[in-house]
Chain A
């Protein structure tokens, strides 16, 4: 074990002496949490809205009041006609508009339907649909309370976003961010550090030595396990400390699952490094082959439900997809292993398969 310890020490030297890379790897996740937390928000606030009301009345003023007092909306004005809306939308002053019919008050009292037009800026479809649902909710509530008709049935629909009632995006991106960071630190850095030894020729020296190939690989990845774990703690710490993200489940289980995902990423890195001959190839393979699927096909950025069927089937072999389910389950829903055992088992299976694949290709050694 003396030989192995010396080998791990040497690998730690490599990481610690490359100061720039070290600090980038350590601080990048933190910066990403802050950027995602402050800049990339899918929860919507201060939507600039206008209301067109040709015939103001007590009832319609109540609707205006509801929009004005909501923190989601910023009321830009109440206009008698639709004339100014086009310019407002085009210049971006307006994101949304509610258009009431003439004599809304009378229609509300009568038996006829009340046609209301809701116009939303759909340039960004994601926030567009969120804005739409917020506005719809306000209008429905107003309608429910202002229509007082004896004998008629009134539906009181109470909606609630479970686990994330205020739709905080921090709950969505932190699990994805952990997956992303671990893919970079564990998979990409492992692949690069192994191929670097191939490039410089030191790998040959190691393979010719009595060190078992597995000891070489284990020694090379060990420091990256530590690094990945430090990153997980940093990201979780920032999510909790800065953004108040909840942890409803078990911290121990969460960290254990993160460790499992780190091993999975390392195994991927090993597999890449067994086929890539240069650091550049390894990096491109890791970026295109791992980073993009982790970003796009894991449910991190795009909802899995919105993907076309072939792609949705493909996501089943993206480890991050299962990891995201697990982390969201633990952090946001407070789920335990009893509910998450299937996802965990899939990750374990993937990791083992990758390790076996890596070992078999490693056994062929160098050509």
Chain B
């Protein structure tokens, strides 16, 4: 059993000639909020998809929640939650039906589902909309609901792929509060984003450039290492070397 929630060695993914993710080696401690930063197409999503078993690595290995992704993907699946960058609840089902469906898929009992539905809807203030079709509730709430559903089975690690795309600043703040609450309860959070202010909220982060990690550490560490005052500046320096 690995001491880390996530541990990778030389993880690589090629699509034909193109190398989307190159020799990725990093680890994430349990209960950590780890940020995956990078421009569009830098390989963040590809890396995450390998970790959650949607994509096979071309090379290298990784352990997630202590299980090898290549040989023990079943166990990995049971222990992770995932929220994709596309909104991933069913529009034509009600809030309650979505929760019941995912609860059932992860093998929760009816009593557990009822209890957790109550808790999670209370937490995001959506009790009144329990019987509404998901289609009819506002986007900000949908995102919070999607996160809550991804956490319903109390996974050890939750993967969030650009969870705050297209959401207003207030809802984003509320969303990050939820992430912190989750991490405080012991769940490891791996989140990709290209909002640099969000990166400041992470315990540790890595910046990916053209498929490889260009910088990694706490926000303070990486800023010191590259002699910059803000992540914004660092990001520009790394992604557009000529401009700095």
Contacts and interface: CB of A to CB of B under 8 A. Distances in A.
Interface of A: 2-3, 5-7, 10, 13-14, 17-18, 200-202, 204-211, 365-367
Nearest to B98: A10
B148 to A, nearest CB: 13
B105 A202 contact: no
Given A208-B53, A209-B106, A210-B105, A10 B84 contact: no
Contacts of B54: 204, 207-208, 365-366
A292 to B, nearest CB: 31
B82 A13 contact: no
Contact of A10 (B80, B82, B88, B101): B101
Contacts of A204: 54, 82, 84, 86, 88
Name A's interface SS: helix
**What 9 A-B pairs are tightest by C-beta distance, nearest first?**
A201-B86, A6-B104, A208-B82, A201-B88, A205-B88, A210-B77, A201-B84, A3-B105, A204-B84
A205 B84 contact: yes
> How extensive is the interface on chain B, given as a class?
20 to 34
27 contacts: A2-B104, A6-B100, A6-B101, A6-B104, A7-B105, A13-B93, A14-B90, A17-B92, A200-B87, A201-B85, A201-B87, A202-B88, A204-B54, A204-B84, A204-B86, A206-B105, A208-B52, A208-B80, A208-B82, A210-B105, A211-B105, A365-B53, A365-B54, A365-B55, A366-B54, A366-B55, A367-B55
Nearest to A215: B105
Nearest to B79: A210
Contact of A210 (B55, B74, B84): B74
Contacts of B68: none
A201 B163 CA distance: 13
B78 interface: yes
B89 interface: yes
A350 B86 CA distance: 36
A3 B107 contact: yes
A6 B77 contact: no
Contact of A13 (B85, B86, B92, B105): B92
Nearest to B77: A210
B91 interface: yes
A53 B117 CA distance: 91
Question: What is the interface of chain B mostly: helix, strand, loop, or mixed?
Answer: loop
A3 B88 contact: no
A2 B104 CA distance: 7
Contacts of B107: 2-3, 210
Interface in B47-87: 52-55, 74, 77-78, 80, 82, 84-87
A208 B159 CA distance: 11
Contacts of B89: 202
A202 B134 CA distance: 13
Given A3-B104, A201-B84, A209-B102, 6 more contacts: A6-B104, A7-B101, A7-B104, A10-B90, A204-B84, A366-B55
Contacts of A206: 105
Contacts of A13: 92-93, 97
Contacts of B55: 365-367
A325 to B, nearest CB: 40
Contacts of A202: 88-90
Contacts of A6: 100-101, 104-105
A309 to B, nearest CB: 40
A209 B77 contact: yes
Contacts of A2: 104, 107
Contacts of B106: 3, 209-210
A156 B100 CA distance: 77
A330 B90 CA distance: 43
Nearest to A207: B54
Contacts of B102: 205, 209
A365 B106 CA distance: 20
Nearest to A16: B92
Contacts of A211: 105
A17 B134 CA distance: 13
A367 to B, nearest CB: 7
Which of A13, A206, A209 has the most C-beta atoms of chain B within 10 angstroms of its own C-beta? A209
B137 to A, nearest CB: 16
A5 B103 CA distance: 12
Contacts of B74: 210
B170 to A, nearest CB: 24
Contacts of B91: 200
B45 to A, nearest CB: 11
